[in-house]
Structure 1
Amino acid sequence: MSCLCLALAACTGPPRPPAPATDTGTPGTGPGTAVALPAPEVQERLDLQLDTPWSAVFLPDGTAVISERDTALIKVVRDGRATALGKVPGVVPGGEGGLLGLALSPDFGTDHYLYAYVTAQDDNRVVRLTLNGTGDGPLALGRPETVFSGIPKAETHNGGRIRFGPDGLLYVGTGDAQRREQPQDPNALGGKILRLTPDGRPAPGNPFGNAVYSLGHRNVQGLAWDGSGRLWASEFGPDVDDELNLILPGANYGWPEVTGAPHRAGFQDAKLVWPSTQDASPTGLEITGRTAYLGALHGERLWVVPLNGTEAGRPVAYFTGKYGRIRDVILAPNRRLWLLTNGQNPDFAVILRPLP
């Protein structure tokens, strides 16, 4: 495995108290300044007996809702136990496809909508289902309604992350589905971040007058906003150059023409690059305060990255190899981070102590 040399931008924010030396990974070199971050601490491990979980969201009462890629089951976690709520019909698992990302409607209190990114027979699509029930009572899962379809599918590179932004619009990360001509085509859906209304229409003000918000992506895996409302995305590289990107409307992130941060005219450089995918394969992304948290599949660790405005500082790795592949990182209402493992079968959740 090659030495990890991280390409990153400068970070000049005020210093924080030093973090305990749990696992610093390989700090890398470059113009970025290392910033001491509070070390994440494990509070508990929940052996939930999950089968390839992919995404999780939290209901207002703190109930966790988890998707399982290969079984197409929605599971809920209460009192440390997972129970199956129902199977989403129309899902056709295979390879990296299946029941993938989840998102909760911003108006969940009134519309009760749970959104899901699913691999169907002929495409990837976004569906929504009602999720009714309150408090400690039983929850009921409605039948799916397709709100957006036609996203290309393949054995690999299906994208899958969806999330509502601060603007109340739905952002959808897609993969190139092995169609390398699609990411550079602003009229194609593969290799994009899409921006939709809750009903699945192209959002007003999109840069190309269609559903596309940004282009030139290979396989978007994580979406999150910082405290100033800036959108960041994690993305798989090929066998080099995994990326953390700051997403700008209409910007072109280069795939398949370039990867990483080559400073090529017409393409947006990644803010953070892992040259060796064995160190990262960054998936679930969460941002709180001025810190980004990324799960890593091949890297089998949690990456913690300081953010300073539009720049990313030098990352620090924690829990390397301890919990296996980490698919998703989610902030719960009580400010505890949940890490979902992937591929252990049965898989589990690691709960970190509350963030400051």
Structure 2
Amino acid sequence: MSVAVDSLNAFALIMPPTPHNCPKITVLGSINMDLVVRCADLPLPGQTITAEAFEEIPGGKGANQAVAAARAGGEVRLIGRVGDDGFGKTLREHLVSEGVDCTCVETTADTASGVAIVAVEKSGENSIVVVPGSNGEVTVADVQRHGDAIRQSDVLMVQLETPRETVEAAIAIARRAGVKVILDPAPAQALPATMLDVDVLCPNETEAVTIAGDRCGTVEEAKQLAAKLRSSGPDVAIITLGDRGTIVDDGMGARLIEPITIKAVDTTAAGDAFAGTLAVRLASGVPLDRAVRLANIAGALAASVAGAQPSLPTADAVTSKADELDAG
């Protein structure tokens, strides 16, 4: 799949600008209610602590990325499932209020919606336990039934909080239709070659190490790891390194996109803000390195605000911050 070219704008050959003004993004993924507790420090094994606050906040990597892409300016459809409980109704209503098309979100009878228990400490770091619920019931038949949503899109975004065979089926539909695929391989797990046949693979460093098995302790090691990931199938490998920046390898040499300095409050959806912004900017024809920088800004802005979906920035907020940084 790799394209040999000699320009940093080469990604335009892989993902040309969408012919319409609003990129069409379809997301296959999880929909959760996040039960968030805020505490001074994360508990140690066997330790009981007192939390400072509790909130119920819509989340799930699929839903987060759908909202992130919608706020970034995309026309977004989400394929997934909620349960027939109170959370399911609330989650669907919230997504619709964010401008996400939920006609491909189905309700599973006698099943609880997905839930994530999120502990966030004062540094902004978090610890998450996910109960899949209805997300585990998203099937290959669901993807096939809503295949037109994928085929009519510019980009398909997928993660790994729904069954792997379902994700593989969605990637296959996109491949046959010539739709570009961005895979955020979270939660971390080893992947078969068929799932790496995507346009963009964007793991964090933990996920990258799990997939490729090499070290990622330094920037140079991360560059080598990105090259190894890219050689395994994707046209572009992107490794997010948090406050150390982002590594990009598109076959023209791995390089570091500098980090954005910002005070972290809650990193829960920073990666989802990154992925959603990246998808929309690339589909809009923004050159790869610039799109990654804007995605870095989106992730940093998300990390500076508490909560998953409430933290996701708008396109205007990202552009404004980019202008401020470029001027400085």
Output the TM-score relative to the length of structure 1: 0.31
Structure of higher RCO (CA pairs closer than 8 Å, 6+ residues apart)? 2
Would you tell me which structure has more helix in proportion to its own residues? 2
